[in-house]
């Protein structure tokens, strides 16, 4: 019998139906654990009809309880974030499905190989960022010194900032940004999203208060159309998050279109996740 055809993750796009089929129907084999993850995250291979790919499997049984999110819902929120990403047409989240696995139901997401050397975050001296960078805020760097934390003024990051505002991402860290050798950018770890209360915590505040680009406004218009009561995105999200959370998502889209600007940090909660990377 010939060896399975391996699917290099970087060659699979988020709109490739074969990737979703493989993740949903393939046989999962656990190869190891991502130990730095806060919840159980298992590195696996998935095989189906002679095809194979690497993936991450996060079983619901391995989720830590959180005070502000219902128990056992993080995996479904990761899938919901993928579905909204797909609805934007930007493909910012790797293919993600909810399925049964060796340790019960969980989230299964295609593994993405990253390109070394891509710099999205930096600490710099001075009061203002250099061209090509956006200021996040000042950070202590030891011995009573502070430095300016900046992120790249990058179109891919800006799209991700818009997606995070829509899904109410409470944990956008630097380590969740995965650039590929082909120039794509993916965001991962979307378990704490879609809360009905405003919980946006992110490193991507550099555009706060600035007008949204026309591309983003067009995408938000499409999202609003698909999030009507009978809309296709509403139908997809209904098994994954609560009706109140869908209503809140719809309201965030409406707010972004009404103001026409990137959201500002709130004052009732920490605006930057910790640790930031």
Question: 224: pLDDT confidence band, cut at 50, 70 and 90?
Answer: very high
Least confident of 2-16, 54-68, 79-93, 139-153: 2-16
* CA-wise closest residue to 210 among 274, 270, 165: 165
What pLDDT is attached to residue 236? 97
pLDDT digits (tens, 9 = 90+) for 64-78: 999 999 999 999 999
Least confident of 52-56, 62-66, 114-118: 114-118
Q: Which residues pair with 97 in a beta bridge?
A: 108
Question: 276: pLDDT confidence band, cut at 50, 70 and 90?
Answer: low
Mean pLDDT over 237-264 rounds to 98
**φ, ψ for residue 245, nearest 5 deg:** -70, -35
Token digits of residue 22: 């493989």
What pLDDT is attached to residue 139? 79
Contacts of 183 (CB under 8 A, 6+ apart): none
Answer with the residue of higher pLDDT: 180 or 14.
180
pTM of the model: 0.92
pLDDT digits (tens, 9 = 90+) for 10-55: 334 444 668 888 999 999 999 999 888 888 999 999 999 888 999 9
Residue 268 has pLDDT above 60, yes or no: yes
The overall average pLDDT reported for the chain is 90
Q: Residue 42 is inside which H or E element, if any?
A: strand 42-48
In whole angstroms, what is the distance from residue 57 CA to residue 59 CA? Answer: 6
In whole angstroms, what is the distance from residue 37 CA to residue 20 CA? Answer: 23
What pLDDT is attached to residue 173? 92
Mean pLDDT over 192-211 rounds to 96
Q: Where are the chain's structural domains?
A: 5-110
In whole angstroms, what is the distance from residue 202 CA to residue 276 CA? Answer: 8
* CA-wise closest residue to 268 among 165, 197, 191: 197
Residue 277 has pLDDT above 80, yes or no: no
Token digits of residue 96: 């993600």
Question: 59: pLDDT confidence band, cut at 50, 70 and 90?
Answer: very high
% of the chain at pLDDT higher than 90: 73
CB distance 44 to 28 below 8 Å: yes
In whole angstroms, what is the distance from residue 207 CA to residue 38 CA? Answer: 29
């Amino acid at each position: 019998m010939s060896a399975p055809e391996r699917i290099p993750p970087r060659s699979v796009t988020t709109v490739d139906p074969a990737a979703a089929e493989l993740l949903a129907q393939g046989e999962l084999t656990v190869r190891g654990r991502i130990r730095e993850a806060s919840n159980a995250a298992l590195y696996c291979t998935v095989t189906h009809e002679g095809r194979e790919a690497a993936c991450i499997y996060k079983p619901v049984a391995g989720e830590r309880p959180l005070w502000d999110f219902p128990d056992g819902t993080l995996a479904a929120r990761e899938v919901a974030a993928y579905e909204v990403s797909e609805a934007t047409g930007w493909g910012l989240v790797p293919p993600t499905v909810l399925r049964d696995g060796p340790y019960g139901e969980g989230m299964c997401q295609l593994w993405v190989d990253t390109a070394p050397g891509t710099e999205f975050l930096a600490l710099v001296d001075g009061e203002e960022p250099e061209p090509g960078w956006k200021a996040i805020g000042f950070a202590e760097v030891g011995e009573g010194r502070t430095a300016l934390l900046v992120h790249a003024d990058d179109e891919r990051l800006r799209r991700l900032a818009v997606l995070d505002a829509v899904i109410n991402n409470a944990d956008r860290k630097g380590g969740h940004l995965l650039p590929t050798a082909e120039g794509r950018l993916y965001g991962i770890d979307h378990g704490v999203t879609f809360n009905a209360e405003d919980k946006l915590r992110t490193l991507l505040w550099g555009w706060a208060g600035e007008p949204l680009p026309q591309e983003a406004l067009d995408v938000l218009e499409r999202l609003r159309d698909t999030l009507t009561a009978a809309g296709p995105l509403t139908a997809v999200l209904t098994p994954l998050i609560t009706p109140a959370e869908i209503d809140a998502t719809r309201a965030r889209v409406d707010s972004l279109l009404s103001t026409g600007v990137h959201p500002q940090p709130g004052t009732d909660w920490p605006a930057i996740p910790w640790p930031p990377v």
